[in-house]
Structure 1
Amino acid sequence: MPITVDIDVMLARRKMSVGELAERVGITPANLAVLKNGRAKAVRFATLAALCEALACQPGDLLRWEPEDGSEGDAVPDAESVGA
């Protein structure tokens, strides 16, 4: 999946454990591990907001998009390029 989750980076920067973050966010350590390891299919905005609050960061600090091999040409065109 081209979305990379950088929760472990923010945990290291904040010197916080997975268990402590899970407690602050209100989710189980197991569910946080699924998200942290990039195995989640979705994340609720409420959970993302709670993560950002607990880690004092922005959503872009936790999630980033990286194109998959050979998919650079498959990007969705922006509104200007399609005449909208």
Structure 2
Amino acid sequence: MPIVVDIDVMLARRKMSVGELADRVGITPANLAVLKNGRAKAVRFTTLESLCQVLDCQPGDLLRWEAAAEGDPDDDLRAAG
């Protein structure tokens, strides 16, 4: 997937646990795990705003785009769409 989620990086910088972040943002640890592991299909702006507020960062500190590797199965889906 070309969108990479760097929540783990910000958690380490802030010395915060996943459980504490989930509690302070108001989402379940399971939903936060889905987001931070790159399995989420979407993220609400309100959730992104809360993450940025709690972690004192910008959206670009949490999300970045990487070009898909050659032969990535997702390339076929994008080309067909």
Fold similarity call, TM over 0.5: yes
When Rg is computed on C-alpha atoms for both structures, the one with the higher figure is: 1
1:12 is aligned to: 12
Normalized per residue, the structure richer in helix is 2
Where structure 1 has 5 or more consecutive residues not aligned to the other structure, the ranges are 72-84
Aligned partner of 1:32: which letter?
L
Task: Give the total of aligned pairs.
Answer: 72
Distance in 2 of aligned mates of 1:47 and 1:57: 13
Structure 1 ranges of 4+ moved more than 4 A: none
Q: What are the Cα deviations for residues 24-73 of structure 1, in whole angstroms up to 9, with x where unaligned?
A: 100000000000000000000000000000000000000000000249xx
Partner of 2:22: 22
Quick one: distance in 2 between partners of 1:60 and 1:22?
Answer: 19
Q: TM-score, normalised by structure 1?
A: 0.82
Percent identity over the alignment is: 82
Counterpart in 2 of 1:33? 33
- Aligned-partner residue type, residue 34 of structure 1: V
The amino acid across from 1:65 in the alignment is W
Equivalent AA in structure 2 for residue 64 of structure 1: R
TM-score, structure 2 as length reference: 0.85
Partners of 2:2 and 2:64 lie apart in 1 by: 8
